[in-house]
Amino acid sequence: MLTLEGITKYYKEIKAIEGVTFTVRQGEFLAIVGPNGSGKSTLMRIMLGIVKPTAGRVLFNGEPLNEVSWRELRRRIGYMPERVSFYDNLTGMETLRLFARVKRSTVDKTVERILPRKVLERKVGSYSKGMRQRINLIQALLASPDIVVMDEPTSGLDPMGIAEFYSILSEIRQERPLTVVLSSHILAEVEGRADRVAIMKDGNLKAIGSLRSLYRKLRLPLKVFITLKGKDPLIERLLSLEGATGLTYRNGYLIANVPPENKMKILSSLMEKKNRFEDISITEPGLEEVFFGLH
Amino acid sequence: MVFTEASRAIAWKELIDKLRNRWVIIVGLTFMLFTLSIAYLGAAPAGLTGFRRIDTTVASLTSLVTFFIPLMSLTLGGGIIAEERERGTLEIFLASPVSALEFITGKFLGLLIALTIALVAGLGLAGGMLALKSGIETLWVFARFVFNSLVLSIIFLSISFFISIAFYERTKVIALSVFLWLFYTIIYDLGLIGVVLLTKGEIGMNLFSALLLLNPVDVYRLMNFISIGEFKIVVGLASVEFSGYINTPILLLIALLWTVIPLGGGYLLFKRRYYE
């Protein structure tokens, strides 16, 4: 759908992004993760045509963008920047009408699902951070875009606010196909929500793919938790023989890192000794492990 | 393609913002207060009070307005980019299907309407009161003064757009605006006086008049003095006659250039920075 090809951006001598290439697929939820200053926001601005790349190009449905097609693309993209305070003297509804007119659209009643009419009729100057973020989300969704680009949309929200934000987004995506490109530096937030994750570091795209494909590619170990009554050298030896590493005892568990290719072998060996432990659980690596595995 | 739905929406937002933050009321009242004070107390040093001749009132008001309007317009337009950047809304506009021309036109139109309301309401109300006291025939002279003041404010609004787009950081924009305000209202004319003194008055009236046209504040002064039929101008402390080629159409043309060049330059800069 939207392809970034060899995108490089330098601000004078300072590198912001170097040689980033990937495609945003139709209907997917793509999370761009990375620490602050890794180039996530710059990448998004380039994607929207707000920032011009030093090298590389953006393609829409396989075609390089020019001034006319950028305008066409912008009709189909909604953008939710990270920090927006809007206009204190305008009401929420007036703010939305302003951006709707700019996008050649109107504000329909469905916005009241995200912010009640009573709140929308108040001046934005009286809004909390959470309410401003909701207005920001609504304006990004005005004119029914095909893609919505969100730069750290939950930044500054409390856990309840974050949960509400994703719940609204999920509801909207259930109703109609919407491609989401979202950046975050909070890994737990996008884990389990994003279809694919792009990991950025120092302006470079370190990896992109589904979480599962990433940890397979990185050959990250699985974590095995075995509930024991006490130390058990036999189980320890068995695990070591099958290639498990990092064996430690903590809170009544024997914890071991197991190479993913040995998972079944280790499990069947352990099952033969099942009378020696009470319980067993296996955890696949999360985004955090993938992230740190790449850094 | 200039006054599209998008540019009208942006203009509406600018106007509503300036009305609701009381900018229009404050500026309008200030103008009215200035005008009435000068009209009523202008002859106080001579021991006289009350409404006097319209030409002397306009001449006195011109001196005051030349300081006030440029500063007001520069501060009004100076924030168009910086404020949107600080609020985070500039990026929303840039990511929307709004063109550079629509954005700049909308901003300019909105602020121009706010300025016009403040000027016409403030000066116009005072002018009406003046006309009631001094005779209805003075209304035309005062209307020309209001029009000329509006022209001056448009010129400086255009200059402020250029500065705001070129420098976009609030501190830089403020610093440059203050410098330009001082330059056009004080430094430039002091420089001209210096040139006249250094050349012992041999500068030549044509060159001197041309140099006056390079300063929009002097263009405004000339427009006002022509409108009240005063064929001598006061540049700082010097009183000189000006060249015959200076007349109202020429001054309006120069004023138009002073509007179009900075505004057009600002638009091109904005387009090149964000749209190409």
Phi-psi region of B55 (alpha: psi -120 to 50; beta: other; left: phi over 0): alpha
pLDDT at B230: 55
Q: Spell out the residues 6+ positions from residue B169 whose beta carbon is closer than 8 angstroms to its own.
A: B82
Count of C-beta atoms within a 10 Å radius of residue A79: 26
Q: pLDDT higher for A19 or B238? A: A19
Q: Residue B141 belongs to what domain range? A: 5-179+259-271
Q: Which residue has the tokens 């600018």?
A: B14
Please give the structure tokens belonging to residue A3: 């392809």
Residue A143: what are its φ and ψ, rounded to 5°? 70, 20
Do A282 and A145 lie in a common domain? no
Q: Which residue has the tokens 């189980």?
A: A235
Contact by Cβ (8 Å): B127, B115: no
Q: ipTM value of the model?
A: 0.84
Contact by Cβ (8 Å): B110, B37: no
Do A160 and A122 lie in a common domain? yes
Distance CA B118, CA B24 (A): 5
Do A162 and A196 lie in a common domain? yes
Q: Give the total number of structural domains in chain B.
A: 1
**d(CA A83, nearest CA chain B) in Å:** 6
Do A30 and A100 lie in a common domain? yes
pLDDT at B233: 45
> B243: pLDDT confidence band, cut at 50, 70 and 90?
low
Residue A215 lies in a domain: no
pLDDT at A36: 86
**pLDDT higher than threshold 70 for residue B1:** no
Q: Identify the weakest region by mean pLDDT among B109-113, B158-162, B175-179, B223-227.
A: B223-227
Q: Identify from B21, B89, B103, B274 which residue to disrupt to test chain A contact, counting A C-beta atoms within 10 A and taking the largest count.
A: B89
Q: Which amino acid is at B150?
A: L
Do A108 and A149 lie in a common domain? yes
* Strands annotated E in A131-276: 147-151, 179-184, 196-201, 204-209, 222-227, 245-250, 253-258
pLDDT at B238: 43
∠A154-A158-A162 over CA atoms, to 5°? 45
Do A265 and A194 lie in a common domain? no
- Going by C-alpha positions, the residue among B174, B171, B170, B145 that lies closest to residue B71 is B174
Residue B251 lies in a domain: no
Q: From chain B, which residues contact A within 8 Å (Cβ)?
A: 5-6, 8-10, 12-13, 16-17, 20-21, 86-89, 91-99, 274-276
Do A99 and A182 lie in a common domain? yes
Residues of B whose CB is below 8 A from A75? 97
Q: Which of A209, A232, A251 lies at the terminal end of a domain, its last residue? A: A209
Regarding beta strands A2-11 and A55-60, do their DSSP bridges make them parallel or antiparallel, or are they unpaired?
Answer: antiparallel
Please tell me which of the candidates B88, B91, B94 has its beta carbon nearest to residue A85.
B88
Residue B164 lies in a domain: yes
Residue B59 lies in a domain: yes
* Strands annotated E in A101-231: 147-151, 179-184, 196-201, 204-209, 222-227
Q: Spell out the residues 6+ positions from residue A131 whose beta carbon is closer than 8 angstroms to its own.
A: A92, A115, A119
pLDDT at B48: 67
pLDDT at B242: 61
Residue B50 lies in a domain: yes
Q: Say whether B92 and A103 touch across the interface (CB within 8 A).
A: no
Contact by Cβ (8 Å): A143, A75: yes
Instruction: Tell me the percentage of chain A whose pLDDT exceeds 70.
Output: 99
Distance CA A116, CA A291 (A): 39
The mean pLDDT of B224-252, rounded to a whole number, is 67
The mean pLDDT of A104-124, rounded to a whole number, is 90
Contact by Cβ (8 Å): B183, B214: no
The domain that contains A143 carries what CATH number? Answer: 3.40.50.300
Q: Which of A209, A244, A279 lies at the terminal end of a domain, its last residue? A: A209
Residues of A whose CB is below 8 A from B107? none
Q: Identify the weakest region by mean pLDDT among A133-147, A220-234, B157-171.
A: A220-234
Residue B252 lies in a domain: no
Q: Say whether A74 and B96 touch across the interface (CB within 8 A).
A: yes
∠A50-A54-A55 over CA atoms, to 5°? 110
Q: pLDDT (tens digit, 9 = 90+) per residue, A59-96?
A: 988 888 876 677 788 889 999 998 899 999 999 999 99
Distance CA A9, CA A51 (A): 9
Q: Say whether B6 and A81 touch across the interface (CB within 8 A).
A: no
Q: Identify from A88, A101, A137 which residue to disrupt to test chain B contact, counting B C-beta atoms within 10 A and taking the largest count.
A: A101
Q: Residue A168 belongs to what domain range? A: 2-209
Residue A195 lies in a domain: yes
Distance CA B256, CA A277 (A): 90
Do A65 and A198 lie in a common domain? yes
**pLDDT averaged over every residue in chain B:** 86
Please tell me which of the candidates A86, A102, A104 has its beta carbon nearest to residue B93.
A102
pLDDT at B234: 46
Q: pLDDT higher for B50 or A222? A: A222
> B231: pLDDT confidence band, cut at 50, 70 and 90?
very low
The mean pLDDT of B116-131, rounded to a whole number, is 85
Residues of B whose CB is below 8 A from A46? none
Instruction: Tell me the percentage of chain A whose pLDDT exceeds 90.
Output: 44
Residue A117 lies in a domain: yes
- Helix (H, G, I), strand (E, B), or coil: what is residue B214? coil
Distance CA A64, CA A134 (A): 33
> B52: pLDDT confidence band, cut at 50, 70 and 90?
low
Q: Name A59's bridge partners.
A: A3, A64
Do A41 and A159 lie in a common domain? yes
pLDDT at A186: 79
Do A71 and A36 lie in a common domain? yes
Q: Which of A190, A209, A228 lies at the terminal end of a domain, its last residue? A: A209
Distance of CA A220 to the CA centre of its chain: 20
Distance CA A218, CA A286 (A): 12
Please give the structure tokens belonging to residue B107: 């901003």
Please tell me which of the candidates B12, B98, B275 has its beta carbon nearest to residue A67.
B275
The mean pLDDT of A183-211, rounded to a whole number, is 88
- Helix (H, G, I), strand (E, B), or coil: what is residue A190? helix
Closest chain A CA to residue B20 = A89
Do A119 and A204 lie in a common domain? yes
The mean pLDDT of B166-187, rounded to a whole number, is 92
Contact by Cβ (8 Å): A221, A245: yes
Residue B76 lies in a domain: yes
pLDDT at B237: 38
> B254: pLDDT confidence band, cut at 50, 70 and 90?
very high
**d(CA B103, nearest CA chain A) in Å:** 9
**pLDDT averaged over every residue in chain A:** 88
The mean pLDDT of B108-113, rounded to a whole number, is 95
pLDDT at B42: 67
Instruction: Tell me the percentage of chain B whose pLDDT exceeds 70.
Output: 89
The mean pLDDT of A51-57, rounded to a whole number, is 92
> B38: pLDDT confidence band, cut at 50, 70 and 90?
confident
The domain that contains A239 carries what CATH number? Answer: 3.30.70.980
Residue B189 lies in a domain: no
pLDDT at B244: 67
Q: Give the total number of structural domains in chain A.
A: 2
Please tell me which of the candidates A52, A77, A89 has its beta carbon nearest to residue B95.
A77
- Going by C-alpha positions, the residue among B240, B64, B255, B235 that lies closest to residue B148 is B255
